[in-house]
Amino acid sequence: MSYTPPTLTESDVEFTAIRAQGAGGQNVNKVSSAIHLRFDIRSSSLPEFIKEKLLALQDQRLTKDGVIVIKAQTTRSQEQNRVEALASLNELLAEVAKPVKVRRETRPTLGSKRRRLEGKSIRGQVKALRGKVQD
């Protein structure tokens, strides 16, 4: 089965330039090089099953209003931060859209059964020695 990650349109994503945090001197204080990417899940053009999975995520980047907020500030260039934020969003979407593998039940191997029984007998011997000493 072939898998294709969902694609976004430019209208789905909103970019805001902000000043980056942390050390950097004068440049970081005067240049808005960091990017806030806002992606409204409910008003996006994604398929419904992906929207439901995104809204069910327990991710700190997801707001109560169903908006994903991604902040990118690692580079000095606003354009590179924009690309980085978009890549982060696409990575999140690809992870959510990936089909879940169905687990096939297997039986325990003979070796694992033996190891389990050996462990149980050793623990039993240890516990048997804890009893009262018989004369």
Angle between helices 48-55 and 78-97 (to 10 degrees): 100
Say which residues have a Cβ less than 8 Å from residue 85's Cβ, sequence separation at least 6. Answer: 15, 35, 36, 37, 70, 71, 72
Q: Is the alpha carbon torsion for 71, 73, 75, 81 positive or negative?
A: positive
Helix or strand (DSSP H, E) at 93 = helix 78-97
Residue-wise pLDDT tens digits, 121-135: 999 999 988 988 777
How many whole angstroms separate alpha carbon 2 and alpha carbon 104?
20
Given this model, what pLDDT does residue 1 score?
47
Cβ contact 90:54 at 8 Å: no
Residue-wise pLDDT tens digits, 75-115: 888 899 999 999 999 999 888 888 889 999 999 999 999 99
pLDDT at 120 over 70: yes
**Which CATH code, of 3.40.50.2000, 3.30.160.20, 3.30.2090.10, 3.40.120.10, is assigned to 10-97?**
3.30.160.20
Instruction: Sketch the domain layout of the chain as residue ranges.
Output: 10-97
Given this model, what pLDDT does residue 46 score?
85
Q: Which band of pLDDT confidence, cut at 50, 70 and 90, is reported for residue 72?
A: very high
Given this model, what pLDDT does residue 2 score?
52
pTM of the model as a whole = 0.68
How many whole angstroms separate alpha carbon 93 and alpha carbon 53?
10
Given this model, what pLDDT does residue 118 score?
98
* Mean pLDDT across the chain: 87
